[in-house]
Structure 1
Amino acid sequence: MKIELLAPTSAALPTLVVAAGERASVRFLEFFASAIRNPHTRRAYARAAGDFLAWCAGAGASSITAVQPLHVASWVELQTQTHSAPTVKQRLAAIRHLFDWLVTGQIVPHNPAASVRGPSHTTNKGKTPVLDATEARQLLDSIDVSTPIGLRDRALIALMVFSFARIGAALAMRGEDVYVQQRRLWVRLREKGGKTHAMPCHHTLEAYLHAYLEGTGIADDPRGPLFRTVARGTGQLSDTPLPQANAYAMVRRRAFVAGIGTKIGNHTFRATGITAYLKNGGTLENAAAMANHASTRTTQLYDRRRDEISLDEVERILV
């Protein structure tokens, strides 16, 4: 489904929305333009709404006002056959929020998704692959820092390990977000929901950031992006921010060169840093504050200390 926020047309809208009239069409688009600020959430919700309404049209619904709880329940049941439980719950949440918005806008009389339950799902450990401290050090030491690219890659990976930064927050940083305070280097991260989070640097991260800023000249451009792409054919950094997909490709390439078999991603380093911190006597409450988590329950998903216990116990099976 395509959402045109500046110039909405009937071609950009699901047929069930168009069938409900102009007021419904405007209110539908306003949901994505006004009610959802995060672009990733907006895209995910737009896909879910588009898929659901297309399915409803195929099931015989004539308009968005004709959608009933049975439609939602049937669609959710089909989703469980092809998607994981967390994905289905997210897609159901998108439909609930959309219809809440339509109810308050007096487009539909009730929310057909309000009474529909999603699949049950509980977890006490995340699925993100994690490196142990030795592997993380192996990866950092394997990076050739004789080039601007190497200095950038080492600094970015170290930032995520030692500050627990999300990749999105790391790539949104500008040069001025690395600054001196109380005679220590600090980093400023812009997290989800527009929250700003500042942390002092670990001495290793401090050394890597100094080397990166001074070795590439980025220190002279405080308003420019901190992590940048490479200008084609030059081997030098450009003025363009490094996209998240490029960061992922870099991480995978660096892991391969370092001989690390674990299929890691950008989020690996956040979980790696949190686990290393907790293994060395850190508290869950402080880890949550450093990771800018609203609840320690979220931080616990990144705690992989039990993985080592499990491996040790497995080796006790002597046959």
Structure 2
Amino acid sequence: MMIKELVSTYLDHLLVERGLSSNTVAAYRRDLDRYVRQLADSGVDRLESVSPAMITEYASRLAEGVRDEAEPDRWRHPPLARASVARAVVAVRNLHRFAVEERHTELNPAAEVQPPAPARRLPKALPLDAVQRLLETPAPDTPLGLRDRALLELLYGTGTRIGELVALDVDDVSRALELPEQETAAIRVLGKGGKERFVPLGRYARAATSAYLTRARPELARRGRGMPALLVNARGGRLSRQSAWTILRSVAERAGITTEISPHTLRHSFATHLLDGGADVRVVQELLGHASVTTTQIYTLVTVDHLREVYLTAHPRAR
């Protein structure tokens, strides 16, 4: 079987039968297209001709990069980070496992090839005072300021991913906002893999969202065409992830926050501050929508570092 044909069949399987998102399938496509090109450079275009050594060589060349033969000072493919190499190798392993499962071949040359272990990086959370400065920076008396304040309060107050947040419609939050103030409101979020979860809507996020919907969104949405999106841009269309990122960086700069920041920083801060406050790691797992508690437990390392720092600076016999 031709490798190109196998890749095409596998990508269709991921999209149609597995129901993976178009972004995830696009990432698989990029990694596997690169794999097919390297095999072609070695004169291999059939599945039966692939060996474990070829896959190991593929991983090595991703890590080391490939120079342009005509211009050695330029990269044909620049070196990839360890995490990117690991992702690419996993894509190749999954491709060959699929070929065996679908009986296109009996041998899996990738079975013994292991992806490099990614370097463990702790997520960076903002200190609470920096979060407070950030949330208070957007203007409370302009449509865009009210929208930005709602965006940031929702990001930090619910711990949602930015893609999950910008996908929300007004109807997704309206029922929660109609509840009496003494009742805990929650909103439905559609996470990775179409997994649904409910996240509480805290008092500050609730107030910011209500103010935005009442005093800002009608004016912004009037410039669009019946857009149901909760968060809209200045033209009345749905706010994009890229625009949300730009808004956050602009507000952070005005708030005097000099560390690198992204929408995921507020998600990290949400989890870390919950654990600092005594929340159970499995509760935080559910709130974040992690499939495994192992993913959530990395945040406990952040809080241990924080506790160690407090101990060293506060206890009279710590040093």
Normalised-by-shorter TM-score class: 0.7 to 0.9
User: Equivalent residues in 2 for 1:98-109 (5 A)?
Assistant: 98-109=95-106
Pick from 135, 139, 156: which aligns with 2:130? 135
Q: Residue 188 of structure 2: SS of its match in structure 1? A: strand
Residues in 2 aligned to 1:217 and 1:258: alpha-carbon distance in whole angstroms: 24
- Kindly provide the amino acid, as one letter, of the partner of residue 55 in structure 1: Q
Unaligned runs of 5+ in 2: 65-78, 315-319
| 2:37 corresponds to | 54
Residues in 1 aligned to 2:96 and 2:159: alpha-carbon distance in whole angstroms: 36
| 1:203 corresponds to | 203
Q: Residue 187 of structure 1: SS of its match in structure 2? A: strand
Sort the Cα spacing of 1:305 and 1:244 in 2 relative to 1 into closer, same or farther, 3 A.
same
Q: Does 1:306 align with 2:304?
A: yes
- Kindly provide the amino acid, as one letter, of the partner of residue 78 in structure 1: R
Q: Residue 122 of structure 2: SS of its match in structure 1? A: coil
Q: Is the 8 A contact 1:160 1:170 kept in 2?
A: yes
After the TM superposition, which of the residue ranges 249-258 and 280-289 deviates more from structure 2?
A: 280-289
TM-score norm. by structure 2 comes to: 0.81
Q: Is the 8 A contact 2:55 2:110 kept in 1?
A: yes
- Kindly provide the amino acid, as one letter, of the partner of residue 137 in structure 2: S
| 1:12 corresponds to | none
Sort the Cα spacing of 1:98 and 1:190 in 2 relative to 1 into closer, same or farther, 3 A.
same
CA RMSD between the two structures: 2.8
- Kindly provide the amino acid, as one letter, of the partner of residue 15 in structure 2: A
| 1:8 corresponds to | none
| 2:160 corresponds to | 165
Q: Is the 8 A contact 1:152 1:212 kept in 2?
A: yes
Q: Is the 8 A contact 1:36 1:42 kept in 2?
A: no
| 2:94 corresponds to | 97
Sort the Cα spacing of 1:288 and 1:74 in 2 relative to 1 into closer, same or farther, 3 A.
same
Unaligned runs of 5+ in 1: 1-15, 232-237
Q: Is the 8 A contact 1:175 1:223 kept in 2?
A: no
Q: Residue 126 of structure 1: SS of its match in structure 2? A: coil
| 1:126 corresponds to | 122
- Kindly provide the amino acid, as one letter, of the partner of residue 252 in structure 2: A
Q: Percent identity?
A: 25
TM-score norm. by structure 1 comes to: 0.81
Residues in 2 aligned to 1:17 and 1:296: alpha-carbon distance in whole angstroms: 37
Q: Is the 8 A contact 2:3 2:45 kept in 1?
A: no
Residues in 2 aligned to 1:142 and 1:33: alpha-carbon distance in whole angstroms: 42
- The Cα of 1:242 is off from its aligned counterpart by 1.2
| 1:33 corresponds to | 15
Residues in 2 aligned to 1:261 and 1:44: alpha-carbon distance in whole angstroms: 31
- Kindly provide the amino acid, as one letter, of the partner of residue 189 in structure 1: V
Deviation track 1:29-85 (CA, whole Å, cap 9, x = no partner) reads 523533451222211111110011101111221434322211101111222332233
Residues in 2 aligned to 1:25 and 1:284: alpha-carbon distance in whole angstroms: 39
| 1:144 corresponds to | 139
Q: Does 1:251 align with 2:248?
A: yes
Residues in 2 aligned to 1:90 and 1:36: alpha-carbon distance in whole angstroms: 19
Q: Is the 8 A contact 1:175 1:225 kept in 2?
A: yes
Q: Residue 198 of structure 1: SS of its match in structure 2? A: strand
Q: Residue 187 of structure 2: SS of its match in structure 1? A: strand
Residues in 2 aligned to 1:225 and 1:49: alpha-carbon distance in whole angstroms: 35
Q: Is the 8 A contact 1:103 1:109 kept in 2?
A: yes
Sort the Cα spacing of 1:288 and 1:195 in 2 relative to 1 into closer, same or farther, 3 A.
same
